Amino acid sequence: MKRIAFPPSPNLDALRFFAFLGVFISHAVYFLPPLVGGSWQAFAAKYLTNGDLGVSAFFVLSGFIITALLLVEKAGAGTVSIWKFYMRRILRIWPLYILIVLLGLVVIPHLIHIEPLTSPVTIHGGNPFWNLVTFTFNFRHGTDFLGWSVVLGVLWSISVEEQFYLVWPWVMKFFKRNAIVGIAIAVVIFAAVFRFIHADNRSIVEYSTFSVMSDIAIGSLLAIAYLQFQERIRNIRSSFRKLILWGSAAIIFADIVFRHALYQFHLFIALEPVFYAIAISGIIFVLMQERLASLFKNTFVAYLGKISYGLYMFHIISMIILRLLVPNSAVIEWIGAFVLTILIAAISYRFFESPLLLFKKHFENKKQ
């Protein structure tokens, strides 16, 4: 396999932040007081509770970046080191994951009680510990939503990511590019059929691995295409890149506006994630080209994307703290929760996550 390059892009960090922002706003609508009265709640419930789209963007990004990095490793070293891949992912994901499990399962529910933010930690009378340990929490999420602290709720997507990590490096190691493309396309088709079959069950559609794995697969297909046709991509005219960018943005905007009205149709439920993931892929494609990415070059926004894992994991805890400190003060709670989330995530990244990430260098492939 010829040598290929995958330059890191701070623009993707910025996209991570905007994906998190969608999740934050959605959860704030659910768990914090309404910002204004009157028709605000109806508007917010219809147009601002699309946190699942933010998570889908994370999945597409994950599929793109992980697949690209594994392709580069395979091209440079001739193979993929499975155990080194797992060690890098463990160092990045597990420390913060374990911390949130302890806080959400043990600490917060026994110290604080704010409905519905800190409901008792039970699942139909049972403890979710084993689901959290085995990274199968997403298969219980949604159907048992009111039975446990929502501090743990964010961990459903980590379960999906870990399941992806369990399988995908083996596919990348033992299959050639065309076979990988075929597998990814098959995953997209299977997930669409799965969603169509289970369209009447919103929890399965939103949280089951078999439903959401098409997001990751589409991101993986983008990575394969991007690295395969790098030279041609560099020569694409700026006007065509702008067309891709604005076309992708239009699809996302239309999805947000019309999805609630169209969710009664099974075919829409089956196909919506495919078109949305393709639109996110279009934005990623453009953001990889520096010349069109000025909107995303703000260093602070890129930094927020860099710490987006912590932002995602801590934002519910920040909402709990603000509910305790300034109950029934909507504007202060919204702004305070957002600022506190950034502060906690920044501290976590600097003093908890970063020291552990230094060990990742011991698990990089030297031949890459």
Note whether residue 259 is domain-resident. Answer: yes
Label residue 142 left, alpha or beta by phi (over 0 means left) and psi (-120 to 50 means alpha): left
What's this model's pTM, rounded to 2 decimal places? 0.92
Q: Which domain holds residue 337?
A: 10-363
pLDDT of residue 120: 45
Q: How far apart are CA 57 and CA 26, in angstroms?
A: 14
pLDDT of residue 90: 97
Here the tokens at position 366 are 């030297």
Residue 310's pLDDT is 98
Residue 165 covered by a domain: yes
Let me know if residue 4 belongs to a domain. Answer: no
Question: 274 lies in a domain?
Answer: yes
pLDDT at 223: 96
Would you state the pLDDT for residue 92?
96
Tokens representing residue 195 in the block: 């969603």
- How many domains is the chain partitioned into structurally? 1
Q: Whole-number mean pLDDT of the chain? A: 87
**Is residue 144 a part of any domain in this protein?**
yes
Predicted confidence at residue 327, as pLDDT, reads 78
- Judge whether 255 lies within some domain: yes
Does residue 5 lie within any of the structural domains? Answer: no
pLDDT of 107 reads 80
Does some domain include residue 137?
A: yes
pLDDT of the residue at 41: 74
Question: Which stretches in the chain have pLDDT values below 50?
Answer: 1, 118-125, 145-147
